[in-house]
Amino acid sequence: MARYLTPSKIALLALIELYTDAAVPPSSTITILSFILKQLIPTAVPKSQAVEPVPEESLPFILESKAFETLLSTYTAAHGLPGRTLWDHFLKKLWDIDSLDALYVFFKRRVHLLKKSRNEARRDRELGIPPPSEGMIILSRTSPFGSFVRRSNVEFERLNFNGAVSLWMAFVKWRQDTRTYWMRRNGGGLSRWAGDHALLNGQLNWGVEETEMLQLVAYGDLNINDAEEVCVSTDDVEKVLEFQVDQMQSKLSYPTLLV
């Protein structure tokens, strides 16, 4: 079991970047920010006023790609190509992560989402690095979003090579459910190896059959939906337990509220 990082946390980082890019229209800002906050802070999940147990499928913190699709597919992006939804922009960020190297770059770039200290800003000026664009939203380092970004970076840097590879392979499998839509949205012009730069380039040197074999060895059969394979970290388990305890406490106090 992973310590902290999971594919769904990578997706949350991409969603936060979508927000800082000012791609989220004002009409959907509260909904999307609330969704993210509920994944980061267990007590941010509204307490159920019902006495019945909370259904398992409604538990937060353990997300599949469908949860992001449901959230984002109904909203049109604030900028970009007409007719493109936030879901389209979000998927581009996910599918741009097309190698283990790209995953390293993805985490390295998260620092640009955070407000720089006075010394960092002065150093950038001395080096001629331009400040962030006026339209970009910068996260405070101590805010829930900023703290999540900083912790994610630290946890990724702590991973050894095998841990990083495991995270990459889990992410490829987690993202696979979005492949059909992403290819259709791009006019079917994407290669069958889209999302994996190594396989895409390797086909030229190894041939199709050898590349297929390498994909099978690395990822298994991506067309098989293994219901038992769920990407969960110890952090997710702790949040679920905290959420359940908070729910039980609210139910225990519920009769008192009726008196």
Q: Is residue 131 part of a domain?
A: yes
pTM exceeds 0.85 for this model: no
Instruction: Give the tokens for residue 152.
Output: 């994610």
Give how many domains the chain has, as a whole number. Answer: 1
Could you tell me if residue 40 is inside a domain?
yes
Per-residue model confidence as pLDDT tens digits over 14-57: 999 999 999 999 989 999 999 999 899 877 655 544 333 433 44
Domain that holds residue 30: 7-190+226-258
Let me know if residue 201 belongs to a domain: no
- Under 8 Å CB-to-CB from 2, ≥6 apart: which residues? 163, 166, 167, 170, 231, 232, 233, 234
**Dist. CA 214–CA 220, nearest whole Å:** 9
List Cα–Cα distances, 111 to 17, 106, 152, 183, 203, in angstroms. Answer: 11, 10, 10, 30, 34
Is there a domain that residue 214 lies in?
Answer: no
Angle at CA of residue 249, ends 244 and 250, nearest 5°: 100
Q: How many CB atoms lie within 10 A of CB 65?
A: 20
pLDDT digits (tens, 9 = 90+) for 199-252: 666 666 766 666 667 667 666 665 545 544 557 888 888 887 877 777 677 666
Q: Is residue 239 part of a domain?
A: yes
HSE-up of 237 (CA within 13 Å, CB side)? 9
Q: What's the angle, vertex CA 85, arms to CA 81 and CA 91, rounded to 5?
A: 95
